[in-house]
Amino acid sequence: MKVLLVGAGLSGAVIGRTLAEAGHDCRIIDSRSHIGGNCYTERDPETGVMMHVYGPHIFHTDDEEVWNYVNRFTTFLPFQNRVKTTSQGAVYSLPVNLHTINQFFGKTMRPDEARDFITEIADTSIEEPQSFEEQALRFVGRDLYEAFFKGYTEKQWGCSPTELPASILKRLPVRFNYDDNYFFHRFQGMPRDGYTPMIEAILDHPNITVELETSYEPAMADEADHVFWSGPLDGFFDYRLGRLGYRTLDFERFTHEGDYQGCAVMNYGDRDVPYTRITEHKHFSPWESHEGSVCYREYSRAAEPDDIPYYPIRMVEEKSLLSQYVELAQATPGVTFVGRLGTYRYLDMDVTIREAMDTAGSFLSGASMGKTMPTFIKSPL
Ligand SMILES: Cc1cc2nc3c(=O)[nH]c(=O)nc-3n(C[C@H](O)[C@H](O)[C@H](O)COP(=O)(O)OP(=O)(O)OC[C@H]3O[C@@H](n4cnc5c(N)ncnc54)[C@H](O)[C@@H]3O)c2cc1C
């Protein structure tokens, strides 16, 4: 079959590769001038540092099949994200762990003592937390909440944590040991040469053609037996019902000779610092050595029509508009909506790849049984 895939990010690449290997003819288009979507990396021409152009990407997963899949296309080197935060005039370790707690309160508690201490300072008068703020206060009490959660969350989401749902903080966001590895997953790493060569290798198949700087036109669908859409769900319908809300990021680039901050990610928890974090990209490739350094100051704000949509907001208002777009999509035959934009969900890379593999699998098994491909493999709702 002739398949059109809109978007040369991970979703389009993985679906395209699986279908190409099964003998289908895959045309992949992307409006950008490069492949890789938001995972795109490139070397900074001035310093030689490998840059995560759309923000830092650390690969982490428990899905062994996905881990084997990415390792088929590139070499991964060990990398663990160890985030620091500057808050109220001091530098602490994140996620909040025993080191953070002992340093913050000037104590030398062991795990059980710290657990009892946090239970004591937690606001247990809140029985059924309704908001992010109430949930955080109930879990960790006011001091830790204000130092490590409040300001950062306000800057990230542009609203008070009293307006965010409690469900964002599902579990106690504190560790009672000295583990400062940001992620829990079994497999963690970074592609040695960045993500772009990995995605290039995924796309390198005789049944795949990639056209860059090519935006989707409805007439393109007429030439295809099926379309996989990894662009914005509302964008497919020309935003005719309105725009789904996103947060976007502004990256303010600056350079430094030597080592600027000594770590890859430094968060800024205080409300009066306008940025949320500074990322120093050479620390994402610790096996490389560069004299110069490139950093991004990261600012978060509401996305305007011409901005890159990064984080779906998914509050009550957006969810109601989302249901209307889902209905429209379901009434559109021949198109499957995939990936982070096509399903309006935040997806880590491993989840994106898993869903792309499942989507391609469903297409292949459905095609052999003459079944119609579903509009969504994972419901956005
Ligand atoms: C700031 C940030 C940090 C992240 N960090 C991590 C991390 O550390 N670890 C992790 O696992 N995941 C991370 N992610 C998630 C990761 O970026 C996604 O999982 C991944 O990019 C999703 O791939 P995708 O192909 O679905 O979407 P995208 O990468 O967005 O690709 C979609 C592509 O479609 C193209 N497109 C859109 N509309 C059209 C159109 N009309 N015509 C043609 N082309 C179009 C776009 O140009 C884009 O290239 C992060 C995400 C963000 C926002």
Of 133, 168, 203, which marks where a domain is finished? 168
How many CB atoms sit inside 10 A of residue 189's CB? 18
Domain hosting 144: range is: 94-168
Which residue is catalytic, options 115, 192, 247, 297?
A: 247
User: Do 98 and 164 share a domain, yes or no?
Assistant: yes
pLDDT in tens, 249-303: 999 999 999 999 999 999 999 999 999 999 999 999 999 999 999 999 999 999 9
DSSP code string of 138-188: HHHHHHHIIIIIIHHHHHHHSS-TTSSBGGG--S----SSS---S---SEE
Residue 16 has pLDDT above 90, yes or no: yes
Quote the ligand 1 centre to 177 CA distance (angstroms): 34
The span from the CA of 11 to the CA of 9, in Å, is 6
∠ CA(299), CA(305), CA(309), 5° rounding?
50
pLDDT of residue 218: 95
CATH number at residue 226: 3.40.50.720
User: Do 13 and 158 share a domain, yes or no?
Assistant: no
Residue 170 has pLDDT above 90, yes or no: no
For the record, the structure tokens of 198 come out as: 């990995």
- Between the two ends of the chain, the Cα-to-Cα distance in Å is 30
pLDDT in tens, 49-80: 999 999 999 999 999 999 999 999 999 999 99
183 lines ligand 1 (CB under 6 A): no
Q: Round the average pLDDT of the chain to a whole number and report it.
A: 96
User: Do 72 and 118 share a domain, yes or no?
Assistant: no
7 lines ligand 1 (CB under 6 A): yes
User: Do 47 and 98 share a domain, yes or no?
Assistant: no
User: Do 152 and 120 share a domain, yes or no?
Assistant: yes
- DSSP code, position 131: B
Please state the atom number of ligand 1 nearest to the C-alpha of residue 55: 1
Please state the atom number of ligand 1 nearest to the C-alpha of residue 346: 15
Q: Which of 254, 252, 256, 253 is nearest to 291 (CA)?
A: 256
Sign of the torsion angle spanned by Cα atoms 149, 151, 156, 158: positive
* Contact between residue 223 and residue 217 where contact means Cβ atoms under 8 Å apart: no
Would 283 be classed as within a structural domain? no
Residue 316 has pLDDT above 90, yes or no: no
pLDDT of residue 267: 98
Please tell me the total count of domains within the chain.
2
Residue 95 has pLDDT above 90, yes or no: yes
The answer to pTM > 0.75 is yes
pLDDT of residue 220: 97
User: Do 213 and 76 share a domain, yes or no?
Assistant: yes
User: Do 231 and 341 share a domain, yes or no?
Assistant: yes
With cut-offs at 50, 70 and 90, classify the pLDDT of residue 172. Answer: confident
Q: What percent of the chain has pLDDT over 90?
A: 95
* Contact between residue 62 and residue 185 where contact means Cβ atoms under 8 Å apart: yes
pLDDT of residue 369: 86
Residue 27 is among the residues annotated as catalytic for this protein: no
Would 87 be classed as within a structural domain? no
The span from the CA of 55 to the CA of 348, in Å, is 13
Please state the atom number of ligand 1 nearest to the C-alpha of residue 32: 47
User: Do 12 and 115 share a domain, yes or no?
Assistant: no
pLDDT in tens, 187-205: 999 999 999 999 999 999 9
* Contact between residue 206 and residue 88 where contact means Cβ atoms under 8 Å apart: no
Would 182 be classed as within a structural domain? no
The span from the CA of 11 to the CA of 354, in Å, is 9
The span from the CA of 264 to the CA of 282, in Å, is 7
User: Do 25 and 148 share a domain, yes or no?
Assistant: no
* Contact between residue 144 and residue 263 where contact means Cβ atoms under 8 Å apart: no
